[in-house]
Structure 1
Amino acid sequence: MTSVDDLGLSEVNAVRARASNPDGFVKESDGITAAANYVIGLYPEFSDSQYALKAIKFERKLELGQEGHRYYDLQRWDDVVIELNRILEFEKTNPWGPSHYGSAVVGPEDVNFPIPQRQIDISHGGLVQNR
């Protein structure tokens, strides 16, 4: 996210609800969770926090997938490597997949932007590139 202007009302409600109930949206203690239930499709009360988190992830994927927030969600949930490898495996099933992707695999060192060489040089060994 680059600024508040990027946030939609549904995302503001979800962030507000998450901040007040970080344990998983299981119980509505203060009425704020109702705002989150608006975002996640008015689901019934969740049986546990894992199911609630799965529903939230899916709803955010549907609502914000084309708004440039998906990658940040995946980073926040530590799902980047899993999701990128899932996409890569799907792409390898296409006719051009084996020739384009071969045996490529995404690792944890591949998900962040590289450190610019100039910064590495002026740090005198303080910064080290993952690869």
Structure 2
Amino acid sequence: MPAKDFLDLEEKKNLQKALKEEERAEVRERILMFLLLNDGKTQREIAEFIGCSLKTVAPWCVHGDPNNIESLEDGRKNGNHKKATEEYINLLLKIVDEDPKELGYEFGRWTAARLAEHLEKETGIKLSS
């Protein structure tokens, strides 16, 4: 179950303002992802709504920072090449909708940090949360 209303009112207003003012379409799309996620949409529903793949949505929802618009830019354009392998992304897509309790965790909801930690244990790839 996706986390609903994880953004406070100020964060939500800042994202709505950025959505209107941001010139780069790809960054606007990622801002929209956070707003839809905050409304309780699943990553799969967001992908369908935006018209892209779950592989496009999932990494931004997990590793993007709604309080830092710069984190929604594609750093690969600046030479920061992709660290997540195909295996990592496939595992992320598989477990993001699973209940963490089914994997032996005491918590019932994934956070970005928890998901990144779990994926690091499984793949050995450390990405910031």
Do the two structures share a fold, i.e. TM-score over 0.5? Answer: no
| Greater helix share, structure number | 2
Q: What TM-score results when the alignment is normalised by the length of structure 1?
A: 0.30
Q: What TM-score results when the alignment is normalised by the length of structure 2?
A: 0.30
